[in-house]
Amino acid sequence: MDLLNVVQGLSKKTDSKIVMVVLDGVGGLPLERGGDTELAAAKTPNLDALAVDSQLGLVELVGAGITPGSGPGHLSLFGYDPLNYVVGRGALSAVGIGVKLNAGDVAVRGNFATLGAGRTVEDRRAGRPSDEKNAEIVARLRAAIPDIDGTPVEIYTESEHRFVVVFRAGREPLGANISDVDPQVTGETPRLAVAGDPASQKTANLINAFVERAEQTLAGEPQVNGVLFRGYSDVPHFPSFSDVYKLNAACIAAYPMYKGLASLVGMTVLEVDSVEDAPEGKLAALRAHWDEYDFFYFHVKKTDSTGEDGNFAAKVGKIEAFDALLPELLALRPDVLCIVGDHSTPSKLASHSWHPVPVLIHAEHSRRDQASRFTEEEAGRGSLGLRRGTDLMPLLMANALKLNKYGA
C-alpha cells in the first residue's frame, strides 16, 4: 500500500508550522581518507547549537546504493515514493518557468556545453554562462529552429547553462522513453538519442535533429557551442500535497526546476528576490508570508552547484553562509524545523552520489540526541537511524501533532 494513502487518512489540520530546509547536495566526502567532509570542515556554530537540541539521522532518498537525481530526491522528501511517482527533469523545469504542457507534448532538460575537437565534451556546463548569455543563445536557437519537420519547437532559458525545449505534439502524442544525449562525463562525444519504444521514435529523431542544427548554429561560439539532453518527460500527475497532508504549503526557491516540482505537487510558489540563490531574499519571503502558510519548503541551491564544480572550499563557504542566516529563521519559531539534503554531492566526485544525507529535526516533541555538531558522522549516530526519504514527511507531521492515531 502507498504510504501516502495511510497518511492522508490520518492527517489533520492544526495551527502548527513546519519548515523544511533543503540544503541541496549537502552530503559530502573528505578529499582524503580520514579527513573532513564539507559539512565537518565548515564553521557552523548555529547549526551545531541546534544539533545539540535536536534529533538526527541519515536519509536514503531512493534506496541503498542508488544515486538520486534532484527530482526523485525531492519527491522522496515530500513523501512521494520516487519508484512509483516518476517525472523527468524536463517537465519540472518547464513548469517551473511557467510553460504549460499539453497532453502528448515532451519537455526536455538541456545543458549548454563546450565541445572540442571531434565533438568531444570539454565542459558539460559551458563554463556556467550568465543568464544573459543563456538568453542570447536561446534567441539564436529560436530563430534557427522554430520547428523540425513540421513539429513546433519551443526553447526557453532556465538558468546559467540550463535551458528547456518543448516539442509540441500534433495529432499523435510524442513518447518520452528516450536515452540521454548527455554522456554525463567529459572526454566523450554526445550520444545519439535512441527510442526505448516505438511511440518514442519520432521524439528521438527530433532530438537528434535538434542537436545537429544547434551545433551548426553555435559553431562560432568559443564556449557555448553544443547541447546535451536528458530528462525527457510528458505531463506528470501527482496526488495533491495539500490533500494528502491537510497543509497550506508554500515553496521558497529560486531555480525553476524546484519551483516546477513544488508546483506539480500543488504547493504555492512564492516570489523570491534572490540574486544567485542568496538566502537573504528567501528569508525575506519567508517572513513576509509567515502568517499565510503552515508548511514552507525552503531550498538552497549553491551547496549543490559548488559540489558539482568540485570546489570543496566554495561548498564549505555556502554551508557557512546558510549557517550565518539560521538565527533569523529560528527567530520565526517554527513548531517543527527540518534541515536535510535531497542527495549528496561530494566535491571529491563533482557529481551526485549514493551516500545518505544527514537530517535534523528540531521540535518541542522530538527526541534530543545531544549531538555536538550537524555532520554526517554525528547524524549517523542519531536516534533517527537510517531512514527512507519517504519517512520524513510523516515524522514532521507527527512532531507537529498533525497525525491522528492509526487503528483502534
Q: Looking at 2-6, 164-168, 240-244, 356-360, which range is the least confident one?
A: 2-6
CB 140 within 8 A of CB 126: no
Q: Is residue 380 part of a domain?
A: yes
Rounded to an integer, the average pLDDT of 250-256 is 90
Of the three residues 188, 214, 233, the one that is the final residue of a domain is 233
CB 45 within 8 A of CB 52: no
Q: Is residue 404 part of a domain?
A: no
Q: What pLDDT sits at residue 215? A: 95
- Whether this model's pTM surpasses 0.85: no
Cα separation, 163 vs 8, whole angstroms: 36
Which residues contact residue 148 at a Cβ distance below 8 angstroms, ignoring those fewer than 6 apart? Answer: 167, 206, 209, 210, 213
Q: What pLDDT sits at residue 275? A: 60
φ/ψ of residue 200, rounded to 5: -100, 0
CB 73 within 8 A of CB 354: no
CA-closest candidate to residue 124, choices 156, 161, 179, 164: 161
Q: Is residue 80 part of a domain?
A: yes
Average pLDDT, the chain: 92
Q: How many domains does the chain have?
A: 2
For residue range 338-358, what is the model confidence (pLDDT) as tens digits? 999 999 999 999 999 999 999
Tell me the CB-side half-sphere exposure of residue 5, using CA atoms within 13 A: 2
Beta bridge partner(s), residue 153: 167
Of the three residues 199, 216, 233, the one that is the final residue of a domain is 233
Q: Is residue 143 part of a domain?
A: yes
User: Could you tell me how many residues make up the chain?
Assistant: 408
Torsion of CA 236, 237, 238, 242, to 10 degrees: 120
265 and 208 in a common domain:
no
C-alpha cell at 156: 526557453
Residue 243 neighbours by CB distance under 10 Å: 12
Rounded to an integer, the average pLDDT of 289-317 is 95
Q: What is the largest CA-CA distance in the chain?
A: 71
pLDDT of residue 276 exceeding 60:
no
For residue range 120-178, what is the model confidence (pLDDT) as tens digits? 999 999 999 998 999 999 999 999 999 999 999 999 998 889 999 999 988 888 999 99
pLDDT of residue 283 exceeding 80:
yes
Instruction: Provide the domain limits for residue 373.
Output: 3-85+239-399
Share of the chain above pLDDT 70, in %: 99
